[in-house]
Amino acid sequence: MLDIYDARGCHVGVKERAAVHRDGDWHRVFHCWVVWRDEFGVDQVLFQRRGAHKPTFPLFLAVTVGGHYSAGETPEDGLREMREELGFAPPFSALVACGQKRIDARWNGLVDRELADTFVYLSERPPAPYPVMRPEIANLVAIAVDGGLELFRGERNRLDAQSPSGPCVVGLSDFVPQHEAMFTDALLLCRRVLNGERDVKAQLEKQT
């Protein structure tokens, strides 16, 4: 069961997950981007390739860790998703809060309206050794933050990347479609955290 919300973000009830996507109800989810600065000083961000049997956007690249809260859960419970999908979970205090993002997506008749509690985790090591823990994830792919921004802005067509199985090349068609603006915003947030900001949410709230 999921908590559901109106367009203003006010809680209006609880509903089964399948019905939430069928009816296009707003619901909260946990998003966390894992980033690090490699040995060459290049800022990197990790994407997950969604599993082949996911009901929405199978095999597309998406946020490092993303998951639904069960009814009554809070962002702290999102660490469960990190532990299950990446095999580790830092203390919640190590995550940098970056506010809540609204995502309105369509896929094969499903309407996915998410209020995504967004966090960035600055890792001290490259995530390549992290195992893929669940069938929901087909792979993990790391890209340079600057290169990703160029890709999502249409300034380049392809991008060198790394996965646990070795080097690879990705293009815009590998990523969840029609999310270029969301990915651009996310990578700009990642860059801020990599550059030392820790009060990102407070700074964003001052701008609204």
Q: Which residues contact 163 (CB under 8 A, 6 or more apart)?
A: 128, 139, 140, 141, 142
At 36-50, the pLDDT tens digits run 999 999 999 999 999
DSSP 8-class letter at 54: -
Confidence grade of residue 198 (pLDDT, cut at 50, 70, 90): confident
Question: Has this prediction a pTM greater than 0.85?
Answer: yes
pLDDT exceeds cutoff 80 at 208: no
pLDDT exceeds cutoff 70 at 53: yes
45 sits in the region (left: phi over 0; alpha: psi -120 to 50; else beta) called: beta
Token pair belonging to 172: 């815009």
The answer to whether 57 and 143 have CB atoms below 8 angstroms apart is no
The answer to whether 133 and 24 have CB atoms below 8 angstroms apart is no
Work out the mean pLDDT of the chain and round it to a whole number.
Answer: 90
Q: What is the CATH number of the domain that holds 101?
A: 3.90.79.10
Pairing of strands 110-122, 61-62: unpaired
How far apart are the C-alpha atoms of 49 and 61, rounded to whole Å?
A: 4
At 116-135, the pLDDT tens digits run 999 999 998 776 555 555 67
Question: What DSSP string runs through 64-105?
Answer: SEEEEPPTT--GGGGHHHHHHHHS----GGGEEEEEEEEEEE
pLDDT exceeds cutoff 90 at 187: yes
Confidence grade of residue 206 (pLDDT, cut at 50, 70, 90): low
Give the pLDDT confidence score for residue 127 in this predicted structure: 62
Count of structural domains, the chain: 1
Tell me the residue range of the domain where 72 lies: 2-207
How far apart are the C-alpha atoms of 119 and 100, rounded to whole Å?
A: 9
Give the pLDDT confidence score for residue 195 in this predicted structure: 95
Give the pLDDT confidence score for residue 86 in this predicted structure: 86
Give the pLDDT confidence score for residue 160 in this predicted structure: 97
Token pair belonging to 144: 């340079």
Q: Higher-confidence residue: 83 or 32?
A: 32
Token pair belonging to 164: 């646990």
Confidence grade of residue 207 (pLDDT, cut at 50, 70, 90): low
Q: What sign results for the dihedral spanned by CA atoms 21, 112, 63, 82?
A: negative
Q: Which residues contact 110 (CB under 8 A, 6 or more apart)?
A: 21, 22, 55, 56
